[in-house]
Each structure stands twice: as structure tokens, then as C-alpha cells.
Structure 1
Amino acid sequence: MAVSSKPSPPTPSGSRSEGGIDRLSAKLLGPLVLLGPPGIWLALLLVIPTLVIFELSLVPDIRPGDLVIPSGLDNYFRVFEPLNLQVIGRSLFFATGTTLFCLLLGFPVAYWIALLSPRRWRNLILLAFVLPLWTSSLLRSYAWITILRRTGVLNSIVTSIGLPPINILNTSNAVIVGMTYSFLPYMVLILYASLEKLDRRLLEAAADLGANPVQAFWKVTVPQCFTGIAAGSLLVFISGLGDFVNPELLGGASSMTVSRLIYNQFLGATQNWGFGSALSMVLILFVSVAIALLIRFGEAKPKT
């Protein structure tokens, strides 16, 4: 005798919708829980202060204690005055020169560490490059003052072999030397991380096809580590653009940069927070454009 099975009662549509809402809530709540704390931290320490600086940049000739009433773009027009453009150009010159020297000096070192040095010594060699970063940038700049001043180590060596002393301190050359020394370890570490992943089989294939070392370098090595070159150059350029210590101590009064000019507007004798804020926003704009260019063109694209 067959037993007839009773049909199960239909599931209420409300239960389905509640289950869908719960799953949707879980999907939304998970990212919020993970991104909430860093998002709050980012908003408090970056977004809100940047908005405050932008508001101050719209107030002409504001000083500590004045009422903040945004009234126009006068401070931004001052940025384009010839003297201020000269300061901005000098800052770009220092940052660009430092980036080029760090790339020219750092690439051979990173190449040797990643591809030619004994594997058991690589970590120790990298540690040797990181060691200068353990000391204060102020101490490193004072060390270069000791080396480059007229009675310093460099001129002692130069005069001992019968050559006239070299006047480098308080010049643009001294600033680039100090900045290159300060930011070279960053370039070496980033290039090393990129060169370590280099596919050596492509170099062997290029040699088998008749390419000389120079051709193999430009057509095989550089394209593979282009992302590392772009990232290292961007990091050094941004750091050099905002450097304050090296131009202040090694460049003297003739090496005014944007960072020193901003310092003078906030903590110097002029006390013009509006103009200093406008300069800060221009500096932020330069950095943002550099990062956007890296995101757009720095990622290596596979060839089809």
C-alpha cells in the first residue's frame, strides 16, 4: 500500500527576503568592519587637515587668532609671482636632480646585489644599506657639513695632494649631495625588490639570439623592472620635493625651497598662514599628479 506524502508547506516570502537582507548586510558589514578603523584614522589625520588647509588658503593675509572667512583665490595668485615661481622651480630642480642621481647610482648597486652578489651575503649587504636610515636625517646632514665645509674632511684630502680647496657647502651642489645620500637607500631597496624577480631565461634567450649586453639591458632588463624604476623614482622625487633639512643646513640662504618657504609662512617672521596654506595645496597637487602618473603608467602591462 503506497503512502502518500504530504506536500511541504510553502516557505513564506518574508523569510526569503529576510535571509537576503541578512546576507546583504553581512557583505556590507564585513568591509566596513575591516576598513572602518583605518578609514577613521585617514579622515582624522589626512582628509580633515587637508580641508582645513584648503579653507585657510582662501583667506588672504590671515594670522594666528584671526577670523577664518574664505574670500577668494588671492593667495593662489601670489604663488605665480616670479619670486615664488623661482622657489618652486628650485625645489623641482633639487627633487629631479636627486632622483636622477639616485637612479644612476642605485641601479648598478641593486643589480649587483640582486643578480651578482653571493646569495648568503645579500641580507647582510641590504642591512648595510639600511643602516644609515637608523640615524636621524639631522645628524646625517651635520655629518655632510663636517665633510664639505672649507676646513672639512674633503678639503683636507684635496689640499693634501696640492689642489686648491673646493667650496661646495652652502651651494646647490651640496644640497643635491645630501639629498642623494639621504634617499639612495630607498631607491636601492625598491630596485632590488624588482630586479630580484628578473627572469634570467630571457637574458639567456637574448644572448642566444645575438643581442649584446647593452641591447639585452635596454630590451629585457629595463622593461621587466620598469615598475620598480617608476616606484623608486616617484618615492625619491616626492621625498626630495618636501625635504626641509638638507636645503636648510647644506644650501644656505640662497637655496630657498617650497618647504622652507611654507615654514616661514607658518613659523617664521612673516606669519601669513593663508599664503603658506596655498603653497601647501600646490605641493599636494604636485604629489597627487605624480602618484596619478605612476598609477596610470607605472604598472607593467603584459605584451600580447
Structure 2
Amino acid sequence: MSEPLPTPDTGPAPLAATSRRAAGARFAVFWGAPPALWQAAFFLVPLGFLVAMTFWSVKNFRLTPDATLANWMFILNAGFFRSAYVYTFWLAALTAVIASLAAFPAAYTLAYKVSPATRRFMIFMLVVPFFTSYPVRIYSTQIFFSPQGIINTVLVPLGLGPLQVLNTPTGTVVGYLVLTLPLVVLLQTFALANVPRILIEAAHNLGCGRFRTIWSVIIPSARIGLIVAGTFAFVLAFGDYVAPTYLGGSRPPTLSILIADQVKSGNNWPRASVVAVMMIVTLMVVMLVMIGLAYGRRKERA
């Protein structure tokens, strides 16, 4: 007679694994619930209220709950909105490109060319500007670029001035860079520092020069961090109000200035809400596209 087949082990091991998974789930829920509740209370609920307000109306300078599409039709068909949208998008994209290109040499130097102690000190110096209020930094920039400011005081005797930066799109971009450039340098430095050194050494052993190694090895390996840094620059510049107001002179207006103008013009919060919702949708689309660019090739390789 043949021997009976052994029965599978259903002892305490599977129960222990199930218990560990349950404990892990409880741990995740316990620590994940507070930030989830915070986001729901202070982001999702206000966002829902903002969207609902786009369908309200203003009667006798007072907000009235309604269900009208008049605000959407007015804003989307208004020439001033389309002009402000294109202008804001263009300046934010230009800022992201300039910040990414200008930050890369500094980030490369911090990641590969200086000692760890120097890198830590320079990272600290890049964080220091965030200790100061952003409007204060913009006012300081205003002093630098004013007609009697420090820069023109130096350039005029040399026959190179006066340099007109304030109340121009250039002034707005300068303000955006004041806001975004330190952050972009930090993010790029962390991205480049995490590139495996063995890849760089292998490229050098195969005869790649410095620039080819940067282009063929370092940039592809740090692609995610570099794209995230540029995306952060775009997001911060797209929604900024201070730089276009105090350095750009509010003319032409950006979308953030347009929101303030709609509120000041007859207390029209519903139209301002339409502009705000369009900004949020734009930023979400841009972030999804950039995340797809950052992680797309990795998914294909996987």
C-alpha cells in the first residue's frame, strides 16, 4: 500500500504572518490618520467650498448661493483672462528653465567637487534665505534694482546703466528666481549626490569625458530629482503674488493678481474662485505630466 501524502502545515506560522500584517495595517492607520484628516479638513473641504463658490452669484455686492454657470462663461470667454493665463504660464515655465539651468553647475559642484564639510556649510547657507520672510527678500531686491539702487550706482559710472528691471517682466522673473533658486539648488544637489559613484567611474573607465559623463550618465540617473526640482520652481512661480506685484508692477497682470482684482472689483468672489480653480487644475495637470516624464522610463524598464 502507498503511504499517505503529507498534509500542508497549517500551524502557527500563517497565523503569525497574518497577525504581523494586521499589526502593520493598524500601525499605518494610526500614523497615517492625522495627516489624512489634516489634508481633508484644510485642503479638500476648502477646495470643495472653492469649487462650489464658482457657481454662486453676487447680488448687491453680497454673495448669494446659486447654481449658475455665468461666472465660468464670463471668465473663460474674457480676453484678459486668456492673456493673463498665457503670460503667467510663460513666466513660470521660463523661471523653471532658468532656475534648473542656473542651479545645475552649483549643484554639480556641491555634489562632486567639494568636501563633505563644505557641502554641509553651503547647504546650510542655501537654507538660510528661508529663515527670512519672502516679502522682505523681495523688498531687498527692489532696493538693489531701483533707479538709485546698488546695481545702477555701480553700472552708471561705467556707462552701462541705468538698468531698468523694476515694473517689467524681467523684474517678475528675478523675483521668481529669488523664491525658487535656492530650493532648486538643494533638490538638484540631493539628486546628484545620490547617483551611484560606480556608474561615473565606469563611464570614465570606458573613455567618457566629463561632459559626456554628465550628459549620458549623471543626468539620466538623476532625472527624477532634476524634474521634481524644475516642477517645484514652476509651481511656486505660477502661484506667486508678491514678485509680479512689487517687482513686475502688476502690468500685465498674472493670474494671482487677477484674483485680487476680481475680489476688489465689486467683491466678486465667485469669479475669483473660477480663476483659482483654473490655476489648481493647471498645476495638477503639469505635475501629472512631469511625474509621468520622471517615472515613465523606469516603468518601461521594469
Instruction: Tell me which interval the TM-score lies in, with the shorter structure as reference length.
Output: 0.7 to 0.9
Take 1:120 and 1:28, find their aligned partners in 2: how far apart are those partners?
41
Pick aligned residue for 2:292 from 273, 296, 303:
296
Aligned Cα RMSD in Å? 2.4
Q: Residues 6-155 of structure 1 correspond to what in structure 2 (within 5 A)?
A: 30-61=27-58, 65-72=62-69, 74-155=71-152
Question: Is the Cα–Cα contact under 8 Å of residues 56 and 70 in structure 1 kept in the other structure?
Answer: no
Q: 2:208 and 2:29 mapped to 1: Cα distance?
A: 53
Give unmatched runs, 5+ long, in structure 1: 1-21
CA contact (8 A) 1:62 1:274 kept: no
Change (3 A) 1:84 1:97: same
1:286 alignment counterpart: 282
Partner of 1:4 in structure 2?
Answer: none
Task: Give 2:157's match in structure 1, choosing from 155, 160, 185.
Answer: 160
Q: 1:224 to 1:254 in 2, by over 3 A?
A: same
- The counterpart of 2:260, out of the listed 253, 260, 263, is 263
Corresponding position of 2:168 = 171
Q: Which moved more, 1:36-45 or 1:190-199?
A: 36-45
Tell me the distance in 2 between the aligned counterparts of 1:62 and 1:27. Answer: 54
Distance 2:260 2:81 in 1: 14
Give the alignment of 1:243-262 within 5 angstroms: 243-262=240-259
Deviation at 1:64, TM superposition (A): 6.1
Equivalents in 2 of 1:25, 1:222: separation in Å? 41
* Cα distance in 2 for residues equivalent to 1:255 and 1:167: 16
User: For the pair shown, which has the larger CA radius of gyration, 1 or 2?
Assistant: 1
SS of residue paired to 1:240:
helix
Which piece of structure 1 moves more, 66-75 or 177-186? 66-75
Deviates more, 1:41-50 or 1:78-87: 78-87
Please give the secondary structure, in 2, of the residue aligned with 1:66: strand
| CA-CA distance at 1:214 after TM superposition | 2.4
SS of the aligned residue for 2:64 comes to coil
Distance 2:208 2:280 in 1: 44
| Length-normalised TM-score, structure 1 | 0.85
Kindly state the Cα deviation for residue 227 of structure 1 after the two structures are TM-superposed.
Answer: 0.4
Partner AA of 2:269 in structure 1: W
The range that moved more, 59-68 or 215-224, is: 59-68
Matches of 2:20 and 2:141 in 1, distance apart? 61
Aligned length: 283
Where does the alignment leave 5 or more consecutive residues of structure 2 unmatched? 1-18
> Alpha carbons of 1:72 and 1:172: their partners in 2 closer, same or farther (altered >3 Å)?
same
